[in-house]
Amino acid sequence: MNNILVIGAGRSSSALINYLCKAAATHNWFITVADANLELAKAKVKNHPNARAIWLDVSKNNDRKDHLARTDAVISLLPAHLHLEVAHDCIKFQKPFITSSYISREMYRLGDEARDRELVFTGNRGLDPGLEHIAAKKRLDDIRAKGGKVVNFRSYGGGLVAPQYLKDNPWKFKFTWNPRNLVLMGQGTAQYLEKGKKKYIPYHRLFQTYKTVNIDGFGELEAYANRDSLLYKKTYGLNDVPNIYRATLRYPGFCDGWNALIQIGLTDGSYPILDSEKMSFHEWMEAYLQDEPGGSVKERMSNKLGVTPFSKVMKQLEWLGLFSKRRIKFSRATPALLLETVLLDKWSLKPTEKDVIIMQHEYDYILEGERKTLISTLQLTGENGENTALSKVVGLPMAIMLKKVMTGEVKELGMEAPMQKAVYEPLLQELEAHGIVFKDRHV
């Protein structure tokens, strides 16, 4: 096998493409990077002699199948909802398929067919899911190997921006990954386990129900519950553990601000705003108000949200320009799309700015009658706005796995989370060579 097709050249692709291009020179591979934005793909390939950039719209069936038929292995960096068609084609043409996304029910069913055809066909290969899970599984296996019994498992992770680049930003946040995914984050119902009982947090209460976590070097950060903390309970071997909680990290103040956007209705992508191109942002905000007391739209909105006009939350909304008289330029846009365009204007990561990935796992366990806590922490800072920490932790696990497929080290792997020791140990060892290291301490 010599030809690799990478579909998607977005924010998280840089480290993966760089790794594969470097490996291509050693192994005589050829890398094709496909994206609907050809210039973006060209920028990621950088005229490497063992790589090329091509235009590809994956919704074009004939174009997609033509490229897939002529390659030897496929990595998909597409949004999750676009993976399925690519996966079906990979089964048809018997091509190994790797993605970082969650394994959906439909994708999991394809795994059986992949095993029948002896194909490497796997998901959960990026950051979350992926790196988070294999790092946790290693520590859990190590604790059990010593005879320990795990009684609590807590997992926190987040993609942030180094604090020095956020001094004038009241949200303390910028985009380091897909803006659309972030606007829709948390939608659904979060669930976790507490004292042996399931707990549910619906979307409209999610950002009101956050906790604080202390991270060395960062202090107190906010943590809101992930959609499903119980998804990997069986795979982790945590069936008898009474407390399981996974959450996303943000700087202080973010959750209250995002909760305000939800309560107003700005994260809703289910309907278009008629004649939106004729409205100003000020008029858009007024449209969400009913009989709230106050004079200005800002005052009435603060009363609607139950905060003062000079609160941090109102300063966050005002900083986004939501009360400005500036015209909306989009026709029949949904609230979520309008919010995305506003945030893209304010939250874009500049070329010289650096992101930070933080991940912290906490394991409470009993060993020889004594209760212990292991805290395992990853902190990784990106190089700049292109070579981000996020692109490393998302792209490198997939790239390393693909290398093992191409060289024959991994011959068959169904659509499973990568929890086998024979898979995760060499993967974690090579990631450490790239600075992706979890530091452990007992308290």
Structural domains present in the chain: 3-126+390-436 (3.40.50.720)
Q: What are the tokens at 260? A: 């305000």
CB burial readout 348-360, b (16+ within 10 A) else e:
ebeeebbbbbbbb
Say how far apart CA 409 and CA 419 lie, in whole Å: 17
CA distance 13 to 17: 6
- In whole angstroms, give the CA distance from residue 246 to residue 281: 36
Radius of gyration for the alpha carbons in the chain, expressed in angstroms and rounded: 23
Distance of CA 357 to the CA centre of its chain: 11
Q: CA angle at residue 337 from 266 to 163, to 5 degrees?
A: 75
Alpha helical stretches, state H, 94-172: 105-116, 131-145
pTM (2 d.p.)? 0.89
CB-based contact 254:343 (threshold 8 Å) = no
CB proximity list for 410: less than 8 A, separation 6 or greater? 120, 401, 404, 423
CB atoms within 10 A of CB 331: 12
Q: What is the pLDDT of residue 118?
A: 42
| Bridge partners for 30 per DSSP | 3
Q: Percent helix, strand, coil in the chain (nearest 5)?
A: 40, 25, 40
Lowest mean pLDDT among 103-112, 393-402, 419-428: 103-112
pLDDT band at 111 (very low <50, low <70, confident <90, very high): low
pLDDT in tens, 286-328: 999 999 998 899 999 999 999 999 999 999 999 999 999 999 9
Coil, helix or strand at residue 280: strand
C-alpha–C-alpha distance, residues 121 and 415, integer Å: 5
When pLDDT is cut at 50, 70 and 90, the band that residue 11 belongs to is confident
If 0-12 CB within 10 Å is exposed, 13-18 middle and 19+ buried, where does residue 297 land?
Answer: buried
Burial readout 153-177 (b: 16 or more C-beta within 10 A, e: otherwise): bbbbbbbbbeeebbeeebbbbbbbb
Identify the weakest region by mean pLDDT among 120-134, 174-188, 217-231, 239-253.
Answer: 120-134
Q: State how far the Cα of 357 lies from the Cα of 379, in Å rounded to an integer.
A: 6
Tokens 């190994």 belong to residue: 96
Summarised one tens digit per residue, pLDDT across range 120-145 is 545 444 444 468 888 988 999 999 99
DSSP lists the bridge partners of residue 395 as none
Write the pLDDT tens digit of every residue in 34-52: 999 999 999 999 999 999 9
| Contact in structure between 14 and 387 (CB atoms under 8 Å) | yes
Whether the CB-CB separation of 6 and 75 falls below 8 Å is answered with: yes
Predicted pLDDT of residue 379:
95
Closest CA to 378 of 143, 134, 122: 134
